[in-house]
Structures are given as structure tokens and as C-alpha cells.
Structure 1
Amino acid sequence: MDRAVAAAAAAQAAGRIEITGTWSHLACADEPAHPANDLQEQAFRAALDELSAAGLEPGLRHLSNRAATLTRPSAHFDLVRPGIASYGIRPDPAMTYSTSLTPVMTLRSRLAQVKRIPAGSGVSYGWTWTAPRDTTVADVPLGYGDGVAVAASNRAQVLVGGERAPVVGRICMDQLVVDLGERQASRGDTVVLFGPGDSGEPTAQDWADASGTIAYEVVTRLGDRIVRTYQGER
């Protein structure tokens, strides 16, 4: 008998613990065809059999994380842990699922300043972007102090007035700059960094691609200065 099972059986018999659940975590569920998934599920089932042989009830059995919840029905058992999929974020954007996922988080701000600059003007620290033409730029009061990745500088986009606008220059601690071109905009106009994408706005995955990371990091690194508002079901 496994030492952990024997110890659990002895502790429960002595009244020191009560087994209420048995669980494990899949390491490669994001890759459904990876052999580790079969091996881990087999090991989990073997552990359940060992518990039964020791006269122990396993309680609630749960093995499936978010990817396995969507792709591996055989591993669902009594409970599943959908994790970030419950926010509509795909565990792997390249994977296909029978279940449709719609992102439920939207990050909005307002333009803090709008100004016209001439061609050749440098923007933000290091002048990593200079205006190739006369253009209109705007400040957005969000930066890496709020969890917006510096790596997305000169790569990400936002939505202003129903149109995409590129993030230009280096993202600062408390602000970033977007290039509006010739469109009209005013201080206080709404800017959407990411959302479900239904209205043409970038998604968290778009920001992940621009930052060289995963969508999980984009949504979980947002800081306390950002006000959270629950708007209920659609």
C-alpha cells in the first residue's frame, strides 16, 4: 500500500482527519494528444483503486483543469476546475473546442489628453517612435503600474471612436500614447484596451500576442488602481 494512503487510512481511523476529496492536476492538458494526459489519468484511477482497497472513500474526485474540462470528458469525474475558461479566455488560442467561449472582461479608460504633433516628433521615453507625418496623438492614463505590459509598446492596439488605433512609443508607468491619425477625438472619450472583440476592439489574446505572453497574464496582472465593475449577465 502507498505510504500516503496508509497514513491517511490510519489518521482517519484515529479520528484525526476526514477524507473529503481526492484530486490531481494535469500538466499537459493544453496539448490534448500529449501522452502525459493518459499516463496521469491512469495514475489517478490507480490511486482511487488503492484508496478503495484500503477501505477509504475518495470523496469528491477531481482531475480536470480548464483545458481538460473542454477536451477530456473521461477525466471529469465529480468536479471540474474550469479556471480562466470561466472568464471566456481560451487555454490555448490554437485549440478548437465544441464549447464556445466568449471573453467577459473589458478594460476601458478615457483619453486624458489629445494633441496635434508635427512629423518627426518623438513620443515617450527613448523616442522609440517618431511621427512619420503630422498626426494626432492621445494619452491614455494606464501603464505598467496598472499591469499593462511594456512589451506591448509599439505593437498593441486600442479602440477609440469605433476604430483601432496603435499604441505608439514606450508604455510608461502611468500612461500610454496612441496614434489617432486624422480622426477627431476629445479628452474624455472612451478608449477600450481589450474586450470580447464584438465591436472591433482588441481582445486579451491580441494584447498577449503583442506582448509575447499568454492571455492569462494579461488579465491577471491588472492592478488595484483599476476599478472593477460587475455588470451582470448579458
Structure 2
Amino acid sequence: MKKNNKLVLLGAALTMTAGFSMIGASVNADQVINAGQYTENAQQLQQIFTNKNKNFSLKEVSVENHSDNKQEPVYELKGFNAKKTQSAKMVVNAEKTNQIIKNKTKKMSSSDKKDANALNINDVKKSPVDAINLAKKYANVNGNPTSWKLEMKKVNGTETPVYEVEFDGTVTAVSSSSVSSAKSSSVKDAKAKKSSKASSKAAKSNKKVTVKLNATNGNKISVKNEK
């Protein structure tokens, strides 16, 4: 019986260890990044993409954390060839853009062909930095974005390059240190604290905020709050 008890205890320990390992993996997989640190412009990213994919057009750029790079930030570049028979997906290390992690092509499906709109680089007048700063203003947030994407979308019936900038909901909160360091009257301090509490409450209620804006003129298209 003693041996059996030992085996039971050992099995339980192994199960708990495996459980903790799985929890750790899921945490890493959900890790967010400061996408505001990775703002390579569309022209440079297009060059990286087409250097390896001759006669291909770039259709989408995004920056995010990625399992292909051990949860480190990457640029993900997608495009298609001139005949719209092949699609390409490239993953580039966002820290070192000369390091290509993945570059694969595959046959395009009929549905893929319908969505194959080449990114009009000449119409991208706003840089990722501009887009992020405008998105902060439109969403009324003061934190860093967790991802951004650039692709063609229809705006008022016209194909237009559009930025989609995503923020974690908690970025709405104003830090208490910034409030306390402000040199103002007691009345202003009270208002600032009240505003800070309201912002903190709003931050807790939002999971994320997604802003879409026109990459040509910077105009707001939409702001979506997900609770």
C-alpha cells in the first residue's frame, strides 16, 4: 500500500507540474507588445517583401507578437503574384528586419483572389507613428498600442489604405504619479483625481480599443470599444 501511495503522490505531482507548464505557455502566447516601438514605414517593408518575392504585390502589413519568433515582435507581410495564382506570407523579425523568419507561398483560392487588393504605397501619406498618435487622440487613450495593421479597405466606396491600431483597454487609465506630480491648485488637483478615478473605472471595463483611420489623410473611420 505504501508503494501505491507513493505512485499516486508522484502522479499527482506530475499532473500539477504539467498543468503549471500549460498555464505558463498560455501566458506567453497572450503576451502583448508595445507596437509603438516598431514603426518601419510601408515603403521599406514593401522593399523587404518584394526582394524575396519577385513579381509579387504587397497587400497587408501588420506588427504583433508571434509564436514563430518565440513570442517576440514581428512584421507579418502578405501579398500575391501578378497573375493572382500564388499568395505569399513573410514573417520578419521586428527588432532586426534583415532577419526573415518565414517566407512561404501557396496557391490562391477563389475567395483569396476576390480580396487581393495591392497596397497602394503612394497613397500611404501617414507613417505608422502618425497613425498611432492619431489613434490615441481618436480613442482618448494614453498608452501604447499592442498591434497595428495596414491594408486596403473601401472608404466611401473607394479602395483606400487604412490603418487599424489596437490598444489594450487598460491604457485609458491616467497614472496616479502624473496626477500627484502636477503643480496646480487644490481645486484642480481634486478635479484631476476625480478624472483619474473615472478613467481607471473605464479602463477596467474595456478589454481593448480598435481604431481605424485613413492612411492618406489621417481621418478617423471608426473607434470600437470591446467589453
**TM-score for both structures, normalised by structure 2:** 0.26
**TM-score for both structures, normalised by structure 1:** 0.25
Task: Between the two structures, name the one with larger relative contact order (CA 8 Å, sep ≥ 6).
Answer: 2
Tell me which structure has the larger Cα radius of gyration.
1
The structure that is helix-richer by fraction is 2
